[in-house]
Structure 1
């Protein structure tokens, strides 16, 4: 008789995964096939967790457009609980109390993550809260709170190399962009009133070998981290033409002509492409009554 208090392993044999130990062999030498003005394809699905008030699942394709051993895509899932009444012991708030939580799953990256949040996950949570707060109509939900939880199920394999080389900030921007998109779709699934759907976008200033000067590219995940000179991540509402969050970083931003403006405009272009996917998924689930 099987022991119901334990999770029994599989009856057959299993082969454990084998990872390459040479860091130089982990980086792919495949060139970028996408043009500089295009982003990766993404898949978005709402209502993946019926227990929660709203949920969404986001999946980005691999950096090189195909599944390889040295590169993988990014998968995120978001659940929203609320709006619900705050405890009686809490202080009175005339607006909706927003709480965001971003966490990597222990198996999300090549190097196993801990169960407690580190500084990067807390930083992502703060940026996500700032991005969503500008879109939610909090005055319609007094004395209520909204919990938004984003779990990174799988991170890009190349991001682990960036962290080893000390360039993890560039890749955190791509993760933040994905968190903004999946959280925006989950909040819409929960029926929370918003002024617009928030979309994330990332652009970077990249120095290429065959180019005389650095160029601005969208969704810079398939470049050598050492060639990235500056990067920008925004949370953008296209219908209102407003930014709810801006994160820009780089050493060469104050040289040349208006590099900050070029990076922001590139990130806006990327966010508009992602916004079309989010709005399409939201509109697909809305039932429009027939006119009689």
Structure 2
């Protein structure tokens, strides 16, 4: 009879694990199979959360892996967004002539290589702040006085960055913010919230090429050896305005040496935003067509009650 007060080892013999020696980087970069101006395929769908006023789901295509790596790396992004409101503020709140917007981003515990906690950290608060600033530039706030709207984005899978020693380099967070802006805009449109324009976000970057740095659209960290600079924009196509700009890297130094200026990298990000806006527009038009065709979402008043039997 075994002793239940102890943790008994295995009955047979075991072999120690053998690990592959690391080369200093957890992610093994692979060659980019896409053209410099080609975007990854985007899957977007609205109306995925019935209990929310508006919702959307966004997923980016994952490039094929050309070589095996020690760690299971991810180069795709999966986001879910739900919009609650506009809803009235509590009676104890002071009068506000404009809509009170609140946007938050939360990583699922299994979203990244390192398990995330249940309390929002500085990265999630930073991305949520940039998302809120971008959405404030497109929503018409004076349509709903003394009202509030809550936008919650859940990151189901995040893009991994390259690791250079103790420093994280790449565009994983920048691509994630762009995806958050796009999925939030689709969810706002699904909630029938009045906006100035159809907001879209895109990322442009300067990467190290075989001879000289190149200017590309929609970069992925796993596809490049080194990303010198990156730029994200929140773009309003009809008004030709920018509501959000986020740059990373030494674009002035590297761009000057390569003949690529910051304005050119900014134009690449705007071109990527135009491509994402095309996808958002097609998805919303398709959803509107289905709604007019009679496939409306059933409300709780029209649902049949289920009788529970013992």
Q: Hey, what's the Cα distance between the residues in 2 that align with 1:78 and 1:280? A: 18
The match for 2:285 is 283
Report SS of the residue matched to 2:153. Answer: strand
Corresponding residue for 1:131? Answer: 134
Instruction: List, as ranges, runs of 4+ consecutive aligned residues in structure 1 with deviation greater than 6 Å.
Output: 65-68
Aligned pairs, number: 268
Residue of 81, 87, 97 corresponding to 1:84? 87
Q: CA RMSD in A?
A: 2.6
165 and 271 in structure 1: CA distance in 2 versus 1, 3 angstrom threshold: farther
* Alpha-carbon distance in structure 1 between the residues aligned to 2:65 and 2:239: 32
The answer to whether the Cα contact below 8 Å between 1:63 and 1:71 also exists between their aligned partners in 2 is no
Unmatched runs of 5 consecutive residues or more in structure 1: 1-19
Paired position in structure 1 for 2:14: none
Asked if 2 retains the 8 angstrom alpha-carbon contact of 1:30 and 1:64, the reply is no
1:71-100 alpha-carbon deviations (Å, 9 max, x no partner): 342100000000000111222211111000
Could you say which residue in structure 1 is the equivalent of 2:305? Answer: none
Match for residue 265 of structure 1? Answer: 267
Instruction: Give the distance between the partners of 2:114 and 2:20, measured in 1 at CA.
Output: 12
Larger Rg: 2
> What stretches of structure 2 of length at least 5 have no aligned partner?
1-18, 294-310
1:223 Cα deviation (Å)? 4.8
Q: Distance in 2 between matches of 1:101 and 1:139?
A: 22
Map of 1:28-107 to 2, 5 A cutoff? 28-64=28-64, 69-107=72-110
| Mean Cα deviation higher: 270-279 or 21-30 | 21-30
Question: How has the CA–CA distance of structure 1 residues 217 and 93 changed in structure 2, closer, same or farther, with 3 Å as cutoff?
Answer: same
> 1:186 and 2:200 equivalent?
no
How far apart are 1:171 and its partner, in Å? 1.8
SS state of the match for residue 35, structure 1? coil
CA 1:56–1:34: 2 relative to 1, 3 Å: same
Deviations 1:201-233 (A, max 9, x none): 00111112x22x211111111457762111100
- Greater shift in the superposed pair: 257-266 or 267-276: 257-266
